[in-house]
Amino acid sequence: QVRLVESGGGLVQAGGSLRLSCAASGSIPKINTMRWLRQAPRQQREFVAGISNDGITNYVDSVKGRLTISRNNAGNTVYLQMNSLKPEDTAVYCCALIAGRGSYWGQGTQVTSSS
């Protein structure tokens, strides 16, 4: 079993920055992709950013140039550096670990960017 715990959310003014962390523990598959997704009120959950084992990243167009995903060398923690936040970035951000044997999800952390 894999457990994911997010941290780092909060309330910031538009234009501000936050850094989210997601720590994975348990029986972590060697080959995996970690992702950040978000869900705003009354909207569907959307993909934000992903990073593979070998560091390949991808992003939804709306966050390119402002949000950066990274992971530590041990591969068990993923980060989301969020700069130039906009009110439309307000959402609950969840991390996910995707592997051959299944997908694992965290509980999420609230990010609010006020105008």
| Largest separation between any pair of C-alpha atoms in the chain | 42
Amino acid 39: pLDDT: 98
Virtual CA dihedral for 86, 108, 55, 33, nearest 10 degrees?
Answer: -130
CB 37 within 8 A of CB 96: yes
CB 93 within 8 A of CB 35: no
% pLDDT > 70, the chain: 100
Backbone phi, then psi, for 63, in 5-degree steps? -115, -5
Over residues 16-48, the pLDDT tens digits come to 999 999 999 999 998 899 999 999 999 999 999
